[in-house]
Structure 1
Amino acid sequence: MTANAPWDISGSSPGAESTADGRVAVVESDIYRSLLAVLRELGTSTSIVSHSKGMLRWTLHKKVQDNSLHSVLLVKIVLKELEKAGRSNCKTYIVPLLHTLMYAVIQSTCIPKELLQRAYELCRHLLTLPHPYCTIALAYATQLKMEQATPGALYQRKVIAEQSLRNDSFPFQEMLFVFADPAVFSDHLAAGVEADVELAGTAQRQKNHMCAVVQHTLQAVLGQSCQAASLQQALREPGCNVELYFHKVVATLTEHTGGTETDPSTYHTTLQQLYSDILAAAKQDPDPCIPCSSCSLPNPVITFKLWRTESELWSAIEKLICTNSTEQNCISQEPAEKDLDMAHFATPHQSILSRDSGIEGDLPVSMPADSSLRLQQRPFLSRRNCQKRKPSLSDRLTLMKTALEEKGVNTGLMRILRGVGNTLPKEERPFTARILVMGDDRSTGRLAKAYYSLRQREARHLCLTAKVNMEFYYIPVTQEPSMAPVTEENELVVNRHMTLASYLAKVDPWYECNIISLGHMIPKMAKMQLNTSRTVKSHSFLPDIIAYYTRTGVYPVHFTIYSVKISFSDPAKESVDEVFLSHLGIDSAQFKMLDLTEASFRTKKTPVEMCGTVLSVSYRKVSVSSREDDIGFSLRTSSVSISAIPSNETEDLDCLVVTFDNAKSLLESSIRTCSIKIRTLEKRMFTVCLDKDSRRTFTKVQSIEISPCVDPAYNLEKIEKPKFSLGQEKEKKEKKRIHNKDSTLTLPINTFAGNIC
């Protein structure tokens, strides 16, 4: 911390000089000190096992959550600190301050208009900064503009989506799934985490959430003229029709945010009349005007699952969509097609291949044409609509467009996709599935494999892509014992087991501050939860941090998924196509360490020769000029480590680092490449392990081929074009260039800012 840093707390806090009320000044000073403590911890370098940073942020939010006036004080402080950060070019603190600002604005009901305008102008000023600061500032400037025009809109839409409150005006729902890897979580530990997160998410009924939406919106619109205590009491009367008032509030907001020009004064007038109707129906005497009461943002409903099989991930999403779907929420389609989509994996025992034409006249003579007679004679067999094996052009282009939108790509291929029917913009899909994985490198590797399987399935037939936006989150968890004094050597040992988490901590300091520290805390908190009675806790740390992460961490870091073709020594055994995300290890050792001395003495060979295997390596060298240069060589080595996660945050994510152990015949112990082939030149085979996961280990391997995984959606061979068209060769070259550059499948893991480097 430098002497001239903008976070110096010497002297009085901002606002204390101009505050007449001494109690308010004390509160503001306390909030100011808490905020600076968070920022100071953000600037320090700590290990992955530290857990003080996330607690500081959580404590600060708890101080302002129960009182809207405290939120106003926090907004004032954050705006001043953002202005200081802009003047002194302290970009590290801009992202945390922006997230803190918006989290307070969403929950508060009495932010003055001048403060909202000041926040909006500040976000506009930050648009001059590079990515990701300008991206985050633009998103928040748009939200602030909406909050200025229609107060209470951000809170209302967030609660409706997260709590799945049914209505005709805003039919969007968000679902939060937490998948814990059994390799890290035992059944006992998973039960503790489930008791913590699911009980906190179901503490309130939907009627209470509707009351909160109505009360927050009316308080935000009417301000000090709203009698908060009377309104709250009226909404909780036994005979109050809360659902009717809820639908009126949502419809009024939708009418003024639908893009049509409306009179801004009618929004205030309509809700003022609704407020009067609520009090009149309750027949309450008006109470003295009191300050705005708090309507804190409830935690989203969390579905926790122990992730035993890969299919559980997608079947859980499909099941919940089927449960929550209504005619307004789903895409307009025929009932038979809707049943076909969701039954695709709900009944895997049924065959989807048709052996006949599907015409009753072409059925075998032994089978009656009458469907009722067929069902009577064959009660255990059922026939349903068959799916097309060959993907349609519309489905493939829709899937491709989704991939380009997620990566933020704007190339010539987007011109090909224009005008294609049956496509939905990403923001208009009725469902958003937030998939949060808890575990280590093994867990993210399983997630990459499951995501690749989903893309393969969607390329054949769209089931989820047209309905669901999928966002991926990752909380690293380990049960390794906490280390004593943190040193650089200790930190490196921990990072070997969670390389992907270490990389995210380097590129996003706010992620390191809030999420990385949970690695050792979650197992401890789960054990504490099991040891206590399972009662609902209103201030549970883990559900709050999950809610904060999934709400504000919406900027992904794209990790390249690599495909590997594994060939075995047994000719009768077919080769296997697999994928990995972070690491691939090759072990070619043939003898145990206890036998090395005796064996080397008899054969007069070195231990390296006894342990190693002669491998033939062919790879494409990565160069600054991007020129393709194929290189081949052979060497004897005992093991090979292929890492897809760079050790330095400034390196690219689309490059493999291959390290050979005990390789004396190679000039360099490691090489950088994007594609590589390795095969054995001896009778000795080797073992391959993907993402350090013993469940994904292959033995007696003869050769492997590794290359970036191609998105199954990128299958453009059958795109129909006019036979003769001007500029056809140019389009073909452009399509080939796009295919090579943008067709790689990546796994987007959300953080608070993406890659800041």
Structure 2
Amino acid sequence: MESTEVESDILRRVRTLLRELDGHHPAFQCDRGMLRWTLHKKIDQNPSNSSVLVGILVKELERAERGDYRHYIIPLLHTLMYELIKAPCISEDLCSRVYDFCKKMLTLPKPFCTIGLDYAARLKMERTAPGMLYQRMVISEQSLRSDPYPYQEKVFIFADPELLSEAICNALVTDTEAAQVSQSPRLCMSYVIIHAMQAGLVEGCDISGLKRSLQDMPMSAVEHWFQQVVMAVEGAGSEVNADRSQCVARLEEIYHAVLSSVPAGNTPLGELQGIPLPSPNISFHLWTEDDQLWKELVLFIRPPSQSCEPNLLSQELDTFEIQDIISDCECCKQTRFSVLSTDSGIERDLPGATEESGVPCSAEAEQSRLQRKGGIKKRPSPLDSVAFLQAGCHSPGAKPVAKLQRKPGIPQAPAALLQRRHTARVVLLGDDRLLGRLAQAYHSLRKRETRRVFLTPRLNLQFYHIPVITGQPNTLAAANCPAASREELCEVAGYLGKADPWYESNINTLCHMIPKLATMPSSPSKHLVTDLFLTDVIAYYVRMGIQPVCFQVYAVKIFFNDPAQEPAEDVFLTELRTRVPEISPHRELAMSKKKTTLDGPGIDLTVTYKKVVVSDRVKEVAMSLRSTGLVMKAIPADEVEGLVCLNVNITEIIKSNNLSGRSFSAVASRLRTHSIKIRSTEQRPFTLCLDKDSRRAYRNVISMEVSPCLEPSYCLQKTRTLKFSLHEAEDVGLVKYMPKSLLLPINTFAGVIQ
């Protein structure tokens, strides 16, 4: 009777979770996002119910497939797989049913087939090597040393201190620190051993005795048995024709060896016990420097203690290249040596002949800064190949950008000699203004990687976005961008929520929940709490959010009213807004009354743009108008809109004649374009603001050019190709296979569900 009540309670919770996806229960919108968390926590308190939850989820998946409930499939599958990873043991019959369902998903369109293929591959390994999914997740997230699985992951949370309140930042720091308190390497290795034993030896495993034995062992012994378990599980998972019985037999040998000197425990054999899934390695960063993202990623690849020594991850890099890269991050101050030979072959140009030829004194300082080691010839490195240059775009590798802006699926990995053993999961905590800074930093990172490849072949870079808006938005931003309301500051998150209902339920709900949680009174024993809601939700997001949604980054070239001022170049992700400043009183008196009467408010502009049409034919349009300002939106309002374009809304001033004289009215005109040029024909400049951020405002602008931002590696390779090709109008050679535009990928649970 008790088991029936438990099953009924879990079924009710799952059904409530599904009704939440339909937008029902509007009275409980404040609790959205808590249902999934409370469901998993309930199972964690009683791990024996994990099989009950998996069975219910499998039935609901099969019911959703039979009926017209396709939007239930991905949320149910993510919930099921997350429970399978954490569960101490799941029967072979249930795993087989889930595996068969994932194979059926291969007949569905993207992203269903992509997610189904990924989960089917994981389940196949888990059935052969029990405990592999849990083991790999803990090893990578905790950066445990393991030769069979040498992968490392780290979560970087970036927040802008000027956009978030101090209370929110302090609350996040407290939560992330509290989650790391009980995650020592010894404890995590013990978790892996116990979980593998329980998954493999279901009926004959003494969990309490195993725990006591591991606690009494020295650290070296725990590490030894950890390595043995990893080798047994990974060995079974990597073999083509591996048998589950072989892995179980090896685990049983290790189990008896560990318990050889410990008396039997009191726990009955076969009773399941919950093994915690440690929180990932999370670091919280306040984004105060423009190149801070680059620095943190370099330090993740090469910690300061190893910055001067080559290791396995960078042995293919030349020693001098490493020193040059690390010197950019100020973690290793050394003299920079030139590797390439630059002498002309003429005797007087040799270093020894400089003294005789009378070198100026100023050259001595230059030589002390840049020393040349003679006779070093640079070896051709695989890192200089085009495959590495195009690898970091995170797009599926397709060149055209005029088709789809949202590209579901996992980006293709290049055929590289170096494996990407590091995964950096960058979580952006804020609104569209922070994402604008991310677009700048990502563009800068790609340019650095084009000049000298370092991170691309070693690092798998993933971006995640959690929208957060404080009660009082930046007053300066509101002044420069008056239309930036609370909803408009989260356009990207709103779009992702419409495209992915599971993202809307679990992540978008944090937008207003995080400020409330930050202002709640803290408990004296908060550092002992392990069930931290924010940390758990972030961990779930970075673990299960595997589908990127790619957004086009746009480049803008800005020309100023002062001819002596150099043009500025910048990029934006969401919005470009212009505003014509009001005419000052003394200037208005100086102007002719006739001109003021005829022209009215605003300034005269010439607009040249390429019109977006369904047939993809380029149609250039030129027009002149008078306007008081315009707004370029790069994020579409509808998630199913397929064309990549800028929606330009221009406030046009129309002059009309009537009986009382001339009058002026404002009319909104809308353009859809890929690229546009705007120039003021008067001497009056205008103000330009990017991504709703007052810190990225440009004044005294007279002209601007906006177009899709090109991938830096594409530009470099095309420049090289043009030197040896006469076909300047079209891409030839390797260029036509490279991604042309710079796309910023942001991960969600499902990508875009068509």
1:701 matches 2:693: no
Summarize the Cα distance change of 1:364–1:183 in structure 2 as closer, same or farther, 3 Å threshold.
farther
Match of residue 541, structure 2, among 532, 545, 549: 549
Summarize the Cα distance change of 1:82–1:478 in structure 2 as closer, same or farther, 3 Å threshold.
same
Aligned partners of 2:549 and 2:747 also within 8 Å: yes
Q: Which residue in the other structure is 1:342 paired with?
A: 326
Aligned partners of 2:609 and 2:673 also within 8 Å: yes
Aligned partners of 2:399 and 2:736 also within 8 Å: no
What are the residue-to-residue correspondences of 1:568-647 with 2, within 5 Å? 568-591=560-583, 603=593, 609-647=599-637
Please give the per-residue CA displacement for 1:453-475, whole angstroms capped at 9, x wherever unaligned.
00000000011111101000001
Aligned partners of 2:335 and 2:369 also within 8 Å: no
Deviation at 1:542, TM superposition (A): 0.3
Deviates more, 1:694-703 or 1:124-133: 124-133
TM-score scaled by length of structure 2: 0.85
Deviation at 1:41, TM superposition (A): 1.1
Summarize the Cα distance change of 1:86–1:422 in structure 2 as closer, same or farther, 3 Å threshold.
closer
Q: Which residue in the other structure is 2:351 paired with?
A: 363
Deviation at 1:24, TM superposition (A): 1.6
Deviation at 1:134, TM superposition (A): 1.2
Aligned partners of 1:342 and 1:463 also within 8 Å: no
Q: Unpaired segments of 5 or more residues in structure 1?
A: 1-21, 369-376, 412-420, 483-490
Residue 717 of structure 2 aligns with an amino acid whose one-letter code is L
RMSD, aligned α-carbons: 3.9
Deviation at 1:317, TM superposition (A): 1.7
Match of residue 384, structure 2, among 395, 398, 421: 395
Deviation at 1:64, TM superposition (A): 1.0
Aligned partners of 2:320 and 2:339 also within 8 Å: no
Deviation at 1:251, TM superposition (A): 1.3
Summarize the Cα distance change of 1:497–1:80 in structure 2 as closer, same or farther, 3 Å threshold.
same
Deviates more, 1:239-248 or 1:713-722: 713-722
1:266 matches 2:278: no
What are the residue-to-residue correspondences of 1:492-503 with 2, within 5 Å? 494-503=486-495
Residue 634 of structure 1 aligns with an amino acid whose one-letter code is S
Determine the C-alpha separation between the residues in 2 that align with 1:48 and 1:449.
Answer: 40
Q: Which residue in the other structure is 1:751 paired with?
A: 748
Summarize the Cα distance change of 1:144–1:357 in structure 2 as closer, same or farther, 3 Å threshold.
closer
Please give the per-residue CA displacement for 1:141-172, whole angstroms capped at 9, x wherever unaligned.
11111110111000000000001111222110
Deviation at 1:687, TM superposition (A): 0.6
Summarize the Cα distance change of 1:669–1:626 in structure 2 as closer, same or farther, 3 Å threshold.
same
Q: Which residue in the other structure is 1:15 paired with?
A: none
Match of residue 58, structure 2, among 79, 99, 118: 79
- SS of residue paired to 2:202: helix
Summarize the Cα distance change of 1:277–1:58 in structure 2 as closer, same or farther, 3 Å threshold.
same
Q: Which residue in the other structure is 1:524 paired with?
A: 516
Determine the C-alpha separation between the residues in 1 that align with 2:466 and 2:398.
Answer: 27
Aligned partners of 2:717 and 2:735 also within 8 Å: no
Please give the per-residue CA displacement for 1:342-371, whole angstroms capped at 9, x wherever unaligned.
334336988869599589994367999xxx
1:182 matches 2:161: yes
Q: Unpaired segments of 5 or more residues in structure 2?
A: 357-364, 401-412, 474-482, 656-665
- SS of residue paired to 1:74: helix
Residue 270 of structure 1 aligns with an amino acid whose one-letter code is R
Aligned partners of 2:335 and 2:370 also within 8 Å: no
Please give the per-residue CA displacement for 1:314-341, whole angstroms capped at 9, x wherever unaligned.
1112112222979445554455544444
Deviates more, 1:664-673 or 1:292-301: 664-673
1:656 matches 2:656: no
1:275 matches 2:255: yes
What are the residue-to-residue correspondences of 1:88-237 with 2, within 5 Å? 88-237=67-216
Match of residue 292, structure 2, among 294, 306, 312: 312
Summarize the Cα distance change of 1:436–1:404 in structure 2 as closer, same or farther, 3 Å threshold.
closer
Please give the per-residue CA displacement for 1:361-386, whole angstroms capped at 9, x wherever unaligned.
94367999xxxxxxxx9999685989
Determine the C-alpha separation between the residues in 1 that align with 2:292 and 2:503.
Answer: 28
Summarize the Cα distance change of 1:170–1:610 in structure 2 as closer, same or farther, 3 Å threshold.
same
Summarize the Cα distance change of 1:733–1:186 in structure 2 as closer, same or farther, 3 Å threshold.
closer
Aligned partners of 1:585 and 1:688 also within 8 Å: yes
Determine the C-alpha separation between the residues in 1 that align with 2:114 and 2:131.
Answer: 23
- SS of residue paired to 1:204: coil
- SS of residue paired to 1:257: helix
Deviation at 1:203, TM superposition (A): 2.8
Aligned partners of 1:559 and 1:653 also within 8 Å: no
Determine the C-alpha separation between the residues in 2 that align with 1:673 and 1:285.
Answer: 72
Determine the C-alpha separation between the residues in 1 that align with 2:440 and 2:266.
Answer: 61
- SS of residue paired to 2:32: helix
- SS of residue paired to 2:33: helix
Deviation at 1:723, TM superposition (A): 9.1
Identity rate of aligned residues, in percent? 38
Summarize the Cα distance change of 1:384–1:471 in structure 2 as closer, same or farther, 3 Å threshold.
farther
- SS of residue paired to 2:80: helix
Determine the C-alpha separation between the residues in 2 that align with 1:114 and 1:437.
Answer: 40
Q: Which residue in the other structure is 2:497 paired with?
A: 505
Aligned partners of 1:184 and 1:477 also within 8 Å: no
- SS of residue paired to 2:296: helix
Determine the C-alpha separation between the residues in 2 that align with 1:171 and 1:130.
Answer: 34
- SS of residue paired to 1:167: coil
Please give the per-residue CA displacement for 1:211-265, whole angstroms capped at 9, x wherever unaligned.
0000001110111211222212222124472111101111112222334544543
Q: Which residue in the other structure is 1:374 paired with?
A: none
Q: Which residue in the other structure is 2:361 paired with?
A: none
Please give the per-residue CA displacement for 1:429-464, whole angstroms capped at 9, x wherever unaligned.
110000011111110000001000000000000111
